[in-house]
Amino acid sequence: MQIIQLMLVLLTALLPIGAAASERLTIAAASDLRYALDEVVAAFRTEHPGHAVTVIYGSSGKMTTQIVNGAPYDVFFSADIAFPRRLWAEGHAATEPRPYATGRIVLWSTTVDASQLALADLADARFRRIAIAQPAHAPYGQRAQEALEAAGLWEAVRPRLVFAENVAHAAQMVQSGAADIGIIALSLALFPDLARHGHHLIDGTLHAPLTQAYVVTRRARDNAAAQAFAGYMQTEVARAVMARYGFVLPHAQ
């Protein structure tokens, strides 16, 4: 009995030390951040080696659903501020949504040089399969649909559309050659592997802005690593990475 008691005392004494030494941080991020955030996280890790950071990418709608249902995410980077606003309004966030960048959509293809194209060229039947993210829950898919509708192309293009789970999946559909062209995030088209093929920047006035915002979730309100990472997004290092991936940044505060 005494031994067990002693072990319990030892354990309770040791636990807080272990927690302070390496705080765990799980980030849920929209898939347009796949390459940019990887670089930011790598820089964060070298400056804060104490924190164990994990990043999970997916569609913003999916991750919002998961957070509402208790997913163990500490910080959520959404491709559309509407999702974190909803989390904040429903009490699932510990901080107000904070914009960190504005995203853009581009035409991108591995079969033709998309930089020589315009959006209207999608009406051309030689593009037999056009990949976009699922408009029902992926912000980049919603904006792609808005742009196509504003350009009067939606009806002409719709029978040839294929829908990806998120915008990175849309890029993968194009990269595999299975889709001839796609509407993807500028931040993905600028990743070195993908940037070997040209892209055409779609007129930003054709769709609502892709205002990206993050929140710290309710479960992480006392997580120092989450606060530290949120703060890190405002640093020059992080902003330089984001700018390099084509994100339009809010003014420094």
Partner 1 sequence: MLDLSPADWQAIDVTLRLCLYTTLILLVIATPLAWWLASGRSAARTAVQAVVALPLVLPPTVLGFYLLIVLGPRGFVGGTLEGVGLTHLAFSFEGILIGSVLYSMPFAVQPLQEAFDALGRRPVEVAASLGAGLVDRFFTVVLPLTRGGFVIAATLTFAHTLGEFGLILMLGGSIPGETKVLSVLIYDHAEAMNYAAAHRLSAILLVFAFAVLFVVYSISRRFRAAKP
For binding to partner 1 (CB under 8 A), which residues are involved?
59, 61-62, 64-65, 68, 128-129, 131, 134, 136-137, 161-165, 173, 176-179
**Residue 165 beta carbon to partner 1: minimum distance, rounded to whole angstroms:** 6
Phi/psi of residue 24, each to 5°?
-90, 140
**What residues have CB less than 8 Å from 230, skipping those under 6 apart?**
75, 95, 98, 214, 216
**Residue 36 beta carbon to partner 1: minimum distance, rounded to whole angstroms:** 23
**Dihedral of the alpha carbons of 235, 238, 244, 246, in degrees to the nearest 10:** -90
Which C-beta is closer to partner 1: that of 50 or that of 70?
A: 70
Which C-beta is closer to partner 1: that of 173 or that of 226?
A: 173
Reported in sequence order, the residue ranges of 158-198 that DSSP labels E, i.e. its strands, are 161-164, 181-185
The CA distances from residue 194 to 165, 198, 239, in Å, are: 19, 8, 21
**Residue 163 beta carbon to partner 1: minimum distance, rounded to whole angstroms:** 4
Asked whether 4 and 208 are in contact (CB, 8 A), the reply is: no
Which C-beta is closer to partner 1: that of 39 or that of 180?
A: 180
**Residue 160 beta carbon to partner 1: minimum distance, rounded to whole angstroms:** 9
Number of Cβ within a 10 Å radius of residue 232: 16
**Residue 83 beta carbon to partner 1: minimum distance, rounded to whole angstroms:** 9
Q: Could you tell me which residues are beta bridge partners of residue 25? A: 53
Which C-beta is closer to partner 1: that of 103 or that of 139?
A: 139
Which C-beta is closer to partner 1: that of 175 or that of 187?
A: 175
Structure tokens at 242: 């984001």
